[in-house]
Amino acid sequence: MIHLLELPVIEALQGLGQSLQPLWLAITFLGDETFYLLFMPLLYWCVDAFVGLRVGVMLLFSAFGNGFLKLIFKSPRPFWVSDKINAGAEHYSFGLPSGHAMNSAAVWGWTAREIKRPWAYWAMGILIFLIGFSRIVLGVHFISDVLLGWLLGALLVLLFARNVRSLGGSLSRLSLKHKLALVVLTTALMISLPILVKMLSSNWQVPVEWTVRVGEIDPMTLDFSLTVSGLWFGMLAGFSVLLHQRGVLQSNSGTWQKVARYFVGLVGVVGLYAGLGAAFPDDLGVLSMVLRFVRYSLIGLWIVWGSPLVFEKLRIGVIKPYIPPQSSANS
């Protein structure tokens, strides 16, 4: 088994890099979904709304695909199968493919494409490598987990790059009703497909050797599906409504206003995340699952729809009707 060949390499890397663990933890944070939830709104509020939206779509699509594949492969993490591996972080989802590697390749790879500068490709490439390498040194992923994550993330970037223009053109021709119907359909798929996999895996049980080392775990949890689908629904539905009713946030407007927008917007995100997280119970079965979806839907809705309206009220942001490039060229 390939994992048996990888374990000695991970042990050696941990021995060499043990004193640098704080550095690896800092680097791995740059691949956390929490960090991306700080980064994507920054782009949307203060740089370019469409760039922020595209990066957000890339993140959520990658995060969903990663969680879905984890449920299918059901592969352990190194510290689940070896007493010699020290876990530098707590993770109790399956290991293959690495979410940090896949999401970083997708998000930072797409970010480099948006910047379109040689230095960006080099900088983002190094960052993607370091994030994936940190997962190995921290003992939370096998080398094969990271390699597959990088490959899948890169494939997402290539797939998105080839279709983003035609997809954007097709979506722009849809009515608001049809856009919202599409959002509902894709959201339903993000929820139902993992449920289907879990139902088909009803006979699967966590191996005893895993629980001996890490205790009781539930790697078949559907929390990722509800989190991602909620953000997906709130973000895309909110953007569609704002675009139809008012237009697009002029993210590059102002100087100090950009700082103010990020501060006000972030207060809203943290308030919804922490406030609803404390208010909504997580031990009520199906009801808790519904509440998790509602919580993240509201966060996505705030980021792309609610916050721009608040910015406008506070006079720190401007929303203008969107004129497609081809329309402005013809006028």
For residue 331, tell me if it sits in a domain.
no
Tokens 């993992």 — which residue? 194
pLDDT score, position 127: 96
Q: What is the mean pLDDT of residues 25-43?
A: 89
Tokens for 88, please give them: 């530098």
- Is residue 216 helix, strand or coil? coil
pLDDT higher than 70, residue 315: yes
- Cα(89)–Cα(77) distance, integer angstroms: 11
HSE-up of residue 31 (Cα within 13 Å, Cβ side): 31
Maximal CA-CA distance, the chain:
69
Does the structure show a pLDDT above 60 at 330?
no
Q: Is residue 330 part of a domain?
A: no
- pLDDT tens for 211-251 read 888 888 889 999 999 999 999 999 999 999 999 999 999 99
Burial class (CB in 10 A: 0-12, 13-18, 19+), 330: exposed
Is 192 a member of any domain?
A: yes
Query: Do 251 and 83 touch, CB atoms closer than 8 A?
Result: no
CA distance 141 to 221: 19
Q: Is 329 among the domain residues?
A: no
- Please name the helix (run of DSSP H) or strand (run of DSSP E) that holds residue 320, with its range, or none: strand 319-320
CA angle at residue 317 from 311 to 321, to 5 degrees? 110
Spatial separation of the C-alpha atoms in residues 92 and 221, rounded to whole Å? 10
Query: Tens digits of per-residue pLDDT, 292-311?
Result: 999 999 999 999 999 999 99
Q: Is residue 256 part of a domain?
A: yes
Domain that holds residue 273: 2-324
pTM over 0.85: yes
Residue % of the chain over a pLDDT of 90: 69
Q: What percent of the chain has pLDDT over 70?
A: 97
Residue 136 resides in a domain? yes
The CB density around residue 220, as the number of other CB atoms within 10 Å, is: 18
Partnered with residue 319 across adjacent β-strands are: 249
Q: State yes or no: pLDDT of 282 exceeds 80.
A: no
Task: Find the helix or strand (DSSP H, E) in which 164 lies.
Answer: helix 143-172
Q: What is the pLDDT of residue 32?
A: 87
> Which is more confidently placed, 205 or 325?
205
Task: Examine residue 296 and state whether it is found in any structural domain, yes or no.
Answer: yes
* Positive or negative: CA dihedral 165, 103, 223, 38: negative
Look at phi and psi of residue 213 and say left if phi exceeds 0, alpha if psi is from -120 to 50, else beta.
alpha
Instruction: Identify the band that residue 22 occupies on the pLDDT scale cut at 50, 70 and 90.
Output: confident
Whether the Cβ atoms of residue 31 and residue 131 lie closer than 8 Å to each other: yes
Domain count, the chain: 1
180 compared with 172, residue with greater pLDDT: 180
pLDDT at 331 over 60: no
Per the prediction, the chain carries an average pLDDT of 91
Q: Is residue 28 predicted with pLDDT exceeding 80? A: yes
* Residue 123 included in any domain: yes
Residue 329 has pLDDT above 60, yes or no: no
182 neighbors 132 (Cβ within 8 angstroms): no
